[in-house]
């Protein structure tokens, strides 16, 4: 398994500042954002079951001299949960839009997700 080149779980020294970053994952149903997060955070293999409602992940990564506490909200991609999505990404500092490289429809939906047309 390869580690993310810009991520590190090393402890920060006292003079380094902690940062908290609230992040929201957005995607079409079934492209694997929960599996992606499980790989990054817990080093677990992909999960074939869909996310129901929302899942929350948190992990620390070192970026430059900062130890960043990344809080990731993973909401279900199904349309029936679309109305809930704004509740999760309100006050978010970042968004990760995920698509399946083998599914052109998921790629073509990226702009819609960016524009907020969930």
Q: How confident is the model at residue 53, as a pLDDT?
A: 66
Of 3.40.50.300, 1.20.120.530, 3.40.50.720, 3.30.870.10, the CATH number of 26-114 is 3.40.50.300
Alpha-carbon span 78 to 90, nearest angstrom? 19
Q: What is the pTM of this model?
A: 0.60
Which of 25, 76, 72 is CA-nearest to residue 51?
A: 76
Return phi, psi of residue 96, to 5°: -115, 120
Q: What is the pLDDT of residue 100?
A: 86
| Boundaries of every domain in the chain | 26-114
Please give the chain's pLDDT, 118 residues, in tens: 334 444 444 444 434 446 778 776 777 677 777 777 777 777 777 666 666 667 778 888 888 888 888 888 777 665 555 566 677 667 788 878 888 889 898 888 888 877 874 4
Angle at alpha carbon of residue 94, lines to 78 and 12, rounded to 5°: 125
């Amino acid at each position: 398994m390869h580690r993310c080149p810009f991520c590190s779980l090393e402890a920060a020294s006292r003079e380094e500042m902690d940062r908290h970053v609230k992040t929201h994952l957005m995607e079409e149903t079934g492209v694997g954002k929960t599996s992606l997060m499980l790989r990054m955070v817990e080093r677990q293999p992909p999960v074939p079951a869909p996310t129901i409602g929302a899942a929350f992940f948190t992990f620390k990564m070192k970026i430059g001299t900062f130890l960043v506490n990344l809080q990731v909200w993973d909401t279900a991609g199904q349309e029936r949960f679309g109305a809930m999505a704004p509740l999760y990404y309100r006050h978010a500092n970042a968004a990760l839009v995920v698509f399946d490289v083998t599914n052109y429809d998921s790629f073509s939906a990226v702009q819609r997700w960016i524009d907020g047309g969930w």
